[in-house]
């Protein structure tokens, strides 16, 4: 389903020196697989997810997702591909504050076609928020906000969910609930999952667990 080969991404520092932040020789995931990746803050985990979803572009290498080389997609083609194939769950939930829970979920659908209200309601029901559909994020608890974000991520039935530190802003109880919810929904909906976290007690909940340093061989010296 997902195959990454020789993927490199560089960043420049203030002296305009270039550093490799991502250097992944090979990474592979199968359909419906759930993988947790642990790594320190600033190790490039978010950039890794952003590369997979095409939010940032790589300098070299290829990312094959269901046979499509994402690195070759540009502009609106990439945006549409992302909308259709990836669901995102962020550390800070990233809900639009002026929109209700239902509207935030529907927003996840409208960029890849028609926003279906019934499907959005069903997604909110799956995360246990069927009675909070008209509440705005500010009226929801942090745990509820993250559940809205999960509903938004699954509503399109994407091929893969990318969860970027989804529990970093939650307490222990809510963290456990959200992780279980994401895992369960991905299994139920047959959606692959990559979850990145710096907390081992989160990644320990997954059978398939990898350290980011095993995947990403960082080059620390300046590039010429």
Partner 1 sequence: MGILRIVYKNIKQRSLSSLLTMLSIMLGVALVTAIILLRQESEEAFNQTAAGYELIVGPKGSSLQLTLNTVYQIGMPIQNMPLNTYELLKNDKRVKLAIPYVLGDNFKDFRIIGTVPEIFTEFEYKKGINYRIDHGKLFENDFEAVIGIETSKRTGLKVGDTFTGSHGVDSYEGAEAHDEFKFKVTGILEKTFTAADKVVFVTMNSVWKIHHHEEENNKDTTSVLKNENTITSILLKLKNPVYFDLVRRQINDNKYEGINAQAVLPVLEIKQLFDIIGNINSILLVIAYLVIFVAVISILVSLYNSMNERKRDIAIMRSLGATRFKILKIIILEGALISFTGALSGILLGHFVIFMMKNKISELAGIQISGTNFNVFELYIFAGTVLLGVLVSMIPALKAYKTDVAKNLNPVS
User: Could you tell me which of 211, 213, 154, 159 has the C-alpha nearest to residue 178?
Assistant: 154
For residues 81 and 224, which CB has a smaller minimum distance to partner 1 in the complex? 81
Q: Does 53 bind partner 1 (CB under 8 A)?
A: yes
- β-bridge pairing 160-164 and 2-12: unpaired
For 100-112, letters b (16+ CB in 10 Å) and e give bbbbbbbbbbeeb
Min CB(224)–partner 1 separation in Å = 25
Q: Does 152 bind partner 1 (CB under 8 A)?
A: yes
From the list 1, 18, 33, 80, which residue makes contact with partner 1 (rule: CB under 8 A)? 80
From the list 62, 99, 211, 219, which residue makes contact with partner 1 (rule: CB under 8 A)? 99
Q: Does 115 bind partner 1 (CB under 8 A)?
A: yes
Q: Does 97 bind partner 1 (CB under 8 A)?
A: yes
Cα–Cα distance, 63 to 52 (Å, whole number) = 7
Q: Does 145 bind partner 1 (CB under 8 A)?
A: no
Beta strands in 81-188 (DSSP E): 86-89, 160-164
Cα–Cα distance, 1 to 18 (Å, whole number) = 32
Phi-psi bin for 32: left (phi > 0), alpha (psi -120 to 50), beta?
A: left
For residues 157 and 208, which CB has a smaller minimum distance to partner 1 in the complex? 157
Residues that bind partner 1 (CB under 8 A): 42, 46-47, 50, 53, 55-56, 75-76, 79-80, 82-84, 88, 90-92, 94-99, 103, 106-108, 110-112, 115, 117, 152, 164, 168
């Amino acid at each position: 389903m997902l195959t990454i080969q020789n993927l490199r991404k560089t960043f420049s520092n203030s002296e305009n020196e270039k550093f490799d932040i991502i250097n992944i020789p090979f990474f592979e995931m199968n359909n419906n697989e759930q993988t947790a990746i642990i790594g320190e803050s600033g190790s490039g985990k978010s950039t890794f997810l952003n590369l997979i979803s095409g939010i940032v572009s790589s300098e070299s290498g290829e990312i094959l997702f269901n046979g499509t080389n994402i690195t070759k997609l540009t502009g609106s083609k990439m945006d549409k591909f992302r909308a259709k194939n990836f669901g995102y769950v962020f550390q800070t939930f990233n809900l639009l504050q002026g929109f209700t829970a239902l509207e935030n979920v529907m927003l996840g659908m409208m960029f890849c076609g028609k926003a279906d209200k019934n499907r959005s309601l069903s997604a909110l029901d799956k995360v246990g928020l069927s009675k909070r559909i008209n509440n705005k994020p500010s009226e929801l608890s942090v745990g509820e906000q993250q559940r809205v974000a999960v509903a938004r991520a699954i509503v399109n039935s994407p091929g893969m969910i990318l969860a970027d530190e989804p529990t970093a802003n939650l307490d222990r109880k809510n963290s456990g609930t959200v992780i279980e919810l994401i895992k369960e929904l991905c299994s139920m909906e047959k959606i692959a999952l990559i979850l990145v976290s710096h907390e081992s007690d989160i990644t320990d909940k997954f059978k398939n667990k990898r350290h980011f340093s095993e995947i990403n061989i960082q080059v620390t010296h300046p590039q010429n």
